[in-house]
Structure 1
Amino acid sequence: MRTAPSSALEDPALRVPDVPDGTAGVAWLRAHVARFSEGPSHTRRRELVAAVLADLTRRVVPGGDPTECLLLALGLPAAHGPDVALVAGAYQPHVPQSPEADAAADRLVAALGPRDELTAARVGVLVQAHAATRALVDRLRTGDPRPPVPSTRRIDPDGEVVEVDLVDAPFGRGPHACPARTLALRLATAVPT
């Protein structure tokens, strides 16, 4: 696997990893979120994420565990936190999958609405924020300048995986830049030290 600087995220020849379609579990979630889509699907799904984030920004009450704050803002009990963690651990296509993570994804989908792209956007926001916002909390607490997510992956035209260094772009850049930067910073800076 080759590495590239964050400027590679603005190269239209590099695409997010392809994910197969799925009817349930983590595979269904990946196949219906903006994170793993390109073109018109990405544009449409990104607009749904923006709407979810606008709603969360109005409703979230920062000051505790970021995942719990997001769950409560979405109208779910904090008891769904372990499901979010399971799905987050299996979300990326290159990491190990498990039946437990699939079951957790299905529980989150059932709790948040019908099996559609809006529900996928809600679950996707929870899952993508989980580890990254916790890492951001730790970085802010310790003064560590490293980005909470150190790298991301893209696929070049030859099908080779490219690991993109995010040291100078902690929230990414280009069409897949993190749309939740403001909310993430708001949640992370409100966590009691």
Structure 2
Amino acid sequence: MLITRNSEALAVLSDPLRAPAPVEAGAPRGTLAWLRGQVSRFASGAAHAERRAAVTAVLDRLDPHVLRQAAARLRHEPPERVAVLVLGAALGVEDLETLAGQVAAAARGYLSGEADAEADAAVAELIGRLPIAELTVLLQAHAATGALLAAAAGRDLDEVLRDDPPVRVLRREGVEIDVPAANQDGPCLTFGYGPRACPGQPHARAIAEGWLSR
């Protein structure tokens, strides 16, 4: 079912029992399919709460003001690289170039589950370098923040978040929410709403504001 009205979208997103479709269990450790089974995005109940708390703890260590300043220094970088470079540095990663390549490879199938050998190899390397909660932050931020930066260049950021968001469809089991449509008659849902709202909203905005300040 496709939802386009804000009130109906709010009802779905407020329901703690509504979750994205779960991933299939039993994938070999170190593959993208296995990683998708370890993150908060595709979990429900107590597992979701525990994993989300771990991600929130990572984000609590990252000062949005510092991220904004770091992003401003990367205004020469293409938008798809900025979030990983800023966040990776803030997390203490030294080899940022390698990290950026590995996250890009893994992120291609992170939401869809469409993995390939390159994605699996990237995940195998990443889980040896960073905890799952930190990888979650990087993978969640990579495509969405890159798309936001690309769309917002030369435009008002709030307008882009409302009318041309980087994530255009929010999926819950049996339901798809048309985010640009739902944003027109109520609160902006670009960062979600309710128990699964994106905890990294201030961080994403800070990175965008820094990179766009040119």
TM-score tier (shorter): 0.7 to 0.9
Larger CA Rg, structure 1 vs 2: 2
Match of 1:96, SS state, is coil
Equivalent position of 1:97 in the other structure: 115
Q: Residues of 1 paired with 2:71 and 2:30: CA distance? A: 32
Deviation at 1:141, TM superposition (A): 1.4
Q: Residues of 1 paired with 2:133 and 2:23: CA distance? A: 16
Deviations 1:113-148 (A, max 9, x none): xxxxxx111101101100111111123214243111
Q: Which runs of 5+ in 2 are unaligned?
A: 75-81, 184-188
Considering only aligned residues, what root-mean-square deviation do their CA atoms show, in Å? 1.8
2:143 equivalent to 1:131: yes
Deviations 1:43-63 (A, max 9, x none): 111110111101122764332
Q: Which runs of 5+ in 1 are unaligned?
A: 113-118, 157-161
Deviation at 1:15, TM superposition (A): 2.0
Please list, as runs of the form range in 1=range in 2, the aligned pairs for 1:74-93 lying within 5 A after superposition. Answer: 74-76=91-93, 77-79=95-97, 80-92=99-111
* Match of residue 178, structure 1, among 195, 198, 204: 198
Deviations 1:91-120 (A, max 9, x none): 02x3521011011111111111xxxxxx11
- The number of equivalent residue pairs is 180
2:78 equivalent to 1:66: no
Deviations 1:29-52 (A, max 9, x none): 111111111111111111101111
Equivalent position of 1:164 in the other structure: 177
CA contact (8 A) 2:21 2:42 kept: yes
CA contact (8 A) 2:31 2:124 kept: yes
2:22 equivalent to 1:18: yes
Q: Residues of 1 paired with 2:120 and 2:88: CA distance? A: 19
Q: Residues of 2 paired with 1:47 and 1:12: CA distance? A: 15
Comparing 2-11 with 95-104, which one deviates more in the overlay? Answer: 2-11
* Match of residue 51, structure 1, among 48, 53, 57: 57
**TM-score, structure 1 normalization:** 0.85
Deviation at 1:12, TM superposition (A): 4.0
Cα 1:95–1:39 shift into 2, 3 Å: closer
Comparing 42-51 with 10-19, which one deviates more in the overlay? Answer: 10-19
Equivalent position of 1:33 in the other structure: 39
Q: Residues of 1 paired with 2:14 and 2:166: CA distance? A: 20
| Residue identity opposite 1:188 in structure 2 | A
Q: Residues of 2 paired with 1:165 and 1:50: CA distance? A: 26
